[in-house]
Amino acid sequence: MHSPGPSPQDYVELRCRSAFSFLEGASNPEDLVEQAAAQGHEVLALADRDGLYGAPRFHAAAKRAGLRAIVGAELSQAAGGPLVLLAESRKGYRNLARLLTVAQGHAPKGEAAASWDELEEHAGGLTALVPASGSLDRAHLDRLLGVYGAEHTALGVTRAMDRSLEGGNRFAVALAEAMRLPIAAWGDVRVARPDGRRLLDAFTCLFHKTTLDQAGRLLLPNGERTLRTREELAARFADRPAWLYTTRAIAESCAFTFEDLGYRFPTYPVPVGESQDSWLRKLTFRGAGERYGTPLPPRARAQLEHELTVIGKLELAGYFLIVCDIARYARERGILCQGRGSAANSAVCYALAITAVDPVGMELLFERFLSEERGEWPDIDLDLPSGDQREDAIQYVYEKYGPHGVGMTATVISYRTRSAFREIGKVLGMESDFLDRLSKKLRQFHFREDLDEARDMLREAGVDPRSPRVALLLELAGQMQGLPRHLGQHTGGLVIAQGRLDEVVPIEPAAMPDRKVVQWDKDDCADLGIIKIDLLGLGMLDALEKTLPLIRDFEGVEIDLAHLPPDDPKTYGMIQKADTVGVFQIESRAQMATLPRMKPTCFYDLVVEIAIIRPGPIVGKMVHPYLNRRAGREPVEYPHPSLEPILKRTLGVPIFQEQLLRLAMEASGFTGGEAEELRRAMGFKRSVERMGQIEERLRSGMTERGITGEAQDEIVRGITSFALYGFPESHSASFALIAYASAYLRAHHPAAFLVGLLNAWPMGFYNPATLVKDGQRHGVVMRPIDVAHSTWPCTLEPGEHGPEVRVGLRYVAGLSKDTGEQVASARATGPFASLADFAARVGPKRNEILALAEAGTLASIDPAARTRRSALWQVSAIERDSNSLFAGAPPPGSDVPSPLPELTPAEATLADYRTTGLTTGPHVLQHLRPELTRRGVLPAAALRNQPNGRFVRTAGHVIVRQRPGSAKGFCFLTLEDETGTSNAVLTPDAFARLRVPLHASPLLEIAGTVQNVDGVIHVKVGRIDPLDTKADASSPRGGSRRGRGGYGSHDYH
């Protein structure tokens, strides 16, 4: 930094904080860049608090806007005070990333602190700017100069029309001038535009856990912490032009850009004499021989050669070898593992046993996965069972590539409707009861409501939306939505680097033990060329893995999921009847409404079924044409004869994303890479200009091939409206394998499959209460939770007509896993002789023994505890100490009977739901059936016999409420009673009219007309009434404690 000779126009803003400073900034990085560009800035620095969370988005936005982005961060506790660090070079950036990693590593979550030694160790290539304040002293500045050097250190001064800063500024400036320390002007920007000031105030209140009314001097005194034009800043520092010149000199020294990030993916260790490419080739053809047989079919060999050539040109062999190694590790440990997504388009992945779908046989498009034109890393997702097995695979990667070479990708948790309203409500000092009511109302809707609907919801919560405070709530909550709230951990995305990953991106401890998370999400990593491998936990794989040993041990049948009978009549018969509760991917209300019309008979039918109930086919209006053509009600037609090979399998209707890409290739002459680029260009942030170029390219290519007129219009319309939402055929095929396996096990081994589902829960679409009742309707005998027989998980027990299901202690609300497992361990030494014996040997805490008593699990070990209330009475009679309920306790006074009246059958059922989330006894509706029958309310099973258009009344427990965005305002319900489930639909008008009673109770009675088409039955709802106020109040929603399984509905997912 040299002496000034400046134009005051040389100002560069060096201190900006975005919303990624988490409550210390109120604008996204993109908004800061947009405003800077509009104001004529050429360079901008982002220095968020304690991280580089927003840096990739800042870099990308700046690149689009033609600005130069300076990367930096502000350490909030750098040897006792704040310090802004800007990266001059790649060396400096690496030091910054490592320093942030160190600072995050030994501080509490949400904080970062670095010592002098740590600053010194990571000082090279960085410029340090210390904010002016009255607390600075010469010793501190001397130490900073010693660490960073005079050429790389400066004092930062802001003039924000704030008198409280003036004294500190004068003192710091005098000290810096005495030490000949350069001084830089800056705006200390917290928000892009002045209109964001009130939201910044709200964030300040949240940071300090106070309200706007009480914040006082915690708030900034004005709206000056916003981006200013260079002319404004030049005028503000007209008396100190050298300070402006310093900013330009610093900016010129900070040449680092993310284009020079220096990331490298690890090389895979191969045998001596082999290269990455040669070893991949050997493994591929070795695996291909096992998959396809020898000699290899010509089509398979040609496809493998083509893929290996592309992989070699893009230097991706090591990536495939590493993913193959992870899949091998899982298989060797008996962990179910299957690749999915676009990786299933690759024959190399199939040969390496990464995926289980034959892309050659299914004619899948490799370019959807990888192409030479794109020149980017592919994306391979591996599905593993949720829980310990997946964690085993993740820890294998950590161990193999070292603690500094691996990290989980982050997820940016943004403010959504409910969280924004609740947080702003706190800031405005609104009562918690009101916020609870509002939260319940907001839970009923999607997060894209307009302002009028938000006002309606406020009225329903008992609030006048015209109130100034409520108007401010609406305004600030609207501004807050979409801004980052905090960083989360991706479910399974791992990034791996050659060498130190923490020199590429800062890493911080995750909430889970033995996990570390990088500061960027998967999209940020992808944009910067950082490779992610997804090890995803799939609940159904966990359920299948838990099911297979049960079948082997209790039924003597060894099942290999890779070699199931391919077209099992019993399995497909069950699917065709939409009898698919608990079956992977085809258990939802929408899938069940389609299955009787689709009538799948083979694997490819399942592939189509899984893909057709997706936004693409629905928005593109492809569902009904396909079903009509399948049923013979509509002729099979093609937009052009040349497209028949692409659309023949789906009866002329494009269902899959790959078909749209092939249409572009066949009709317009696109290459595979160009077709994939077309799909990407149709992303959520479509450019009108880019879409016009694409359409022009499509049309010119079709015209050259003689496709004109209406056929051309239809093809263009299909591609441009559908490609964004289309579901990949490869993905659907991977899921169809699991769907068929789960359906087969449900059809042939229902008891074992139900145990697998219950032990893998939470997963799937339905709660355990629904799974249990569905099992009972299919003949599965359920045995209740009993400390004399239950273990922690659910188990099978021998029964008169086959295995029966014993519900596990895991479903008792309030019981810890350690105590649950101790029950089984203690019982292994002999049966429990009494309640006191149980307590002495197990040692439960007071709340745990009460939970067991209330759940009715103690009846079989003590005659005096044969009912819930008598058990609670006996528990209350036993002397307790502070740590364990029964340590040293004498036998209870069992000769004193309980004075409490016994529960009625209905009360016992509700107690089951409240304490365990499920019941092995009667369904709650069964207790109400006599009265319902008297009033002409039909059970679900009776609806099958009602003709189309008949007015009916039915009732049930609401297990699903849905209002999908693609349904144009329609709302769908699924009700359950003792005979099964029934489906209902509310038009937009009916939903608006009945919204309050719809959510008034978990037990509803509905009235409307039957829609019976192709064996699919719905009730078009005209009236809704809460079924029984007493049942509602006693339900788990109103209870003080709730079973682990939960009895609530699956709402608006």
pLDDT tens digits, residue range 520-536?
Answer: 998 899 889 898 899 99
Looking at residue 211, the DSSP 8-state letter turns out to be: -
On the question of pLDDT at 22 being above 90, the answer is yes
**Structure-derived torsion over alpha carbons of residues 580, 585, 586, 591, reported in degrees to the nearest 10:** 140
Parallel, antiparallel or unpaired: strands 183-185 and 153-157: parallel
pLDDT at 718 over 80: no
Going by C-alpha positions, the residue among 776, 761, 775, 766 that lies closest to residue 959 is: 766
CA–CA separation, 764 and 850 (whole Å)? 31
pLDDT at position 1037: 36
Report the SS3 class of residue 448.
coil
Strands 507-509 and 782-783: unpaired
- What is the number of other CB atoms lying within 10 angstroms of the CB of residue 952? 17
Confidence of residue 615 (pLDDT cuts 50, 70, 90): low
Is a pLDDT exceeding 70 seen at residue 724? no
**Residue 414: CB atoms within 10 Å:** 17
CA distances from 858 to 7, 120, 178, 861 (A): 85, 64, 81, 6
Q: How would you class 481 by CB atoms within 10 Å of its CB: exposed for 0-12, middle for 13-18, buried for 19 or more?
A: middle
For residue 1021, the cross-strand partners are: 1008
Lowest mean pLDDT among 1-15, 118-132, 661-675, 883-897: 883-897
Residue 143 has pLDDT above 90, yes or no: yes
- Write the DSSP assignment of 549-571 as a string of letters: HHHHHHH-----GGG--TT-HHH
- H helix or E strand, kind and range, residue 232: helix 230-236
Q: What is the 3-state secondary structure (H, E, C) of 58-102?
A: HHHHHHHHCCEEEEEEEEEEECCEEEEEEECCHHHHHHHHHHHHH
What is the C-alpha end-to-end distance of the chain, expressed in Å? 57
pLDDT exceeds 50 at position 1035: no
Supply the pLDDT for residue 562.
87
Residue 684 pLDDT > 60, yes or no?
A: no
Nearest of 456, 255, 278, 399 to residue 993 by alpha carbon: 456
Q: Above 80 in pLDDT, residue 295?
A: yes
Task: For residues 982 and 935, give the distance between their C-alpha atoms in angstroms, rounded to a whole number.
Answer: 18
Let me know: does 814 contact 914? Beta carbons within 8 Å.
no
CB 84 within 8 A of CB 129: yes
Arithmetic mean of pLDDT, 1007-1011 = 96
Given this model, what pLDDT does residue 617 score?
Answer: 66
Find the helix or strand (DSSP H, E) in which 124 lies: none
Arithmetic mean of pLDDT, 1027-1039 = 44
The Cα–Cα gap between 234 and 12 comes to 10
108: left (phi over 0), alpha (psi -120 to 50) or beta: beta
Query: What would the mean pLDDT of 213-234 be, rounded to a whole number?
Result: 89
pLDDT score of 882 more than 50: no
Q: 897 or 311, which is more confident?
A: 311
State the angle between helix axes of 729-748 and 603-612 in degrees (0 to 180), rounded to the nearest 10.
110
* Per-residue pLDDT band at 452 (split at 50, 70, 90): low
Confirm if 127 and 247 have CB atoms less than 8 A apart: no
Percent of the chain with pLDDT over 70: 90
Residue with tokens 């999209």: 523
Across 1014-1051, the runs of DSSP E, i.e. the strands, are 1016-1026, 1050-1051
683 band by pLDDT with thresholds 50, 70 and 90: low
DSSP for 653-672 reads ---BHHHHHHHHHHHH---H
Sequence-separated (6 or more) residues with CB below 8 Å from residue 878? 835, 836, 839, 885, 886, 889, 892
For residue 280, give both structure tokens.
């991949």
**Tokens for 812?**
């008792």
Q: Is residue 420's pLDDT more than 80?
A: yes
What is the DSSP code string of 769-785?
HHHHHHHHHTT--EE--
* Least-confidence region, from 140-149, 520-529, 567-576: 520-529
Which pLDDT band holds residue 1042 (cuts at 50, 70, 90)?
very low
CA 539 – CA 543 distance, rounded (Å): 6
- In degrees and rounded to multiples of 5, residue 465 shows phi and psi of -70, -10
Cα separation of 264 and 407, whole Å? 14
Contacts of 146 (CB under 8 A, 6+ apart): none
Per-residue confidence band for 896, with pLDDT thresholds at 50, 70 and 90: low
In eight-state DSSP terms, residue 727 is: B
Average pLDDT, the chain: 88
Closest Cα partner for 671 from 371, 379, 300, 344?
A: 371
Percentage helix, strand, coil for the chain under 3-state DSSP, each rounded to 5 = 50, 15, 35
- 973, exposed or middle or buried, with CB in 10 Å at 0-12, 13-18, 19+? buried
d(CA 895, CA 864): 8
pLDDT bracket for residue 1036 (50, 70, 90): very low
**Residues 544/561, Cβ–Cβ less than 8 Å:** yes
Task: Decide if pLDDT at 148 tops 90.
Answer: yes
At residue 315, the 3 state secondary structure works out as coil
What confidence score (pLDDT) does residue 781 get? 97
Query: What pLDDT, on the 0 to 100 scale, is given for residue 448?
Result: 42
Distance (Å, whole) CA 264 – CA 752: 47
Tokens at 437, concatenated: 């009511």
Model confidence at 2, in pLDDT bands (50, 70, 90)?
very low
- With 0-12 / 13-18 / 19 or more C-beta atoms within 10 angstroms meaning exposed / middle / buried, residue 375 is exposed
- Cα distances (Å, whole numbers) of residue 853 to 370, 777, 839, 920: 59, 28, 12, 17
The lowest-confidence range among 62-76, 587-601, 653-667 is 653-667
Which one, of 738, 732, 356, 740, lies nearest residue 565 by Cα? 740
Predicted pLDDT at 880: 44
Least confident of 74-88, 257-271, 965-979: 965-979
Query: 3-state DSSP call for residue 8?
Result: helix
Tell me if 117 sits within 8 A of 106, measured CB to CB: no
For residue 883, is pLDDT > 50?
no
d(CA 589, CA 270): 50
| Neighbour tally for 59: CB within 10 Å | 25
pLDDT at 830: 94
Q: What is the pLDDT of residue 444?
A: 46
Helix axes 905-916 and 846-854, enclosed angle (nearest 10): 140
Q: What number of helices (H) and strands (E) belong to the chain?
A: 42, 22
Structure tokens at 1024: 């809704």
1020 C-beta neighbours (distance < 10 Å), count: 16
Assign 310 to helix, strand or coil: helix
Share of the chain above pLDDT 90, in %: 64
Say if CB 386 and CB 539 are below 8 A apart.
yes
**Upstream peptide bond of 762 is cis (omega within 30 degrees of 0):** yes
Residue 7 has pLDDT above 70, yes or no: no
CA dist 355 and 359 (Å) reads 10
Residue 231, pLDDT > 50, answer yes
pLDDT tier for residue 1038 given thresholds of 50, 70 and 90: very low
* pLDDT in the model for residue 1000: 84
Q: State pLDDT tens for residues 845-876.
A: 999 999 999 999 999 998 888 888 888 888 87
Q: 769-795 pLDDT, tens per residue?
A: 999 999 999 999 999 999 999 999 999
Bigger pLDDT: 510 vs 922: 922
Lowest mean pLDDT among 46-60, 178-192, 1033-1047: 1033-1047
Q: Is the pLDDT of residue 108 over 80?
A: no
Residue 228 exposure: Cα atoms within 13 Å on the Cβ side: 25
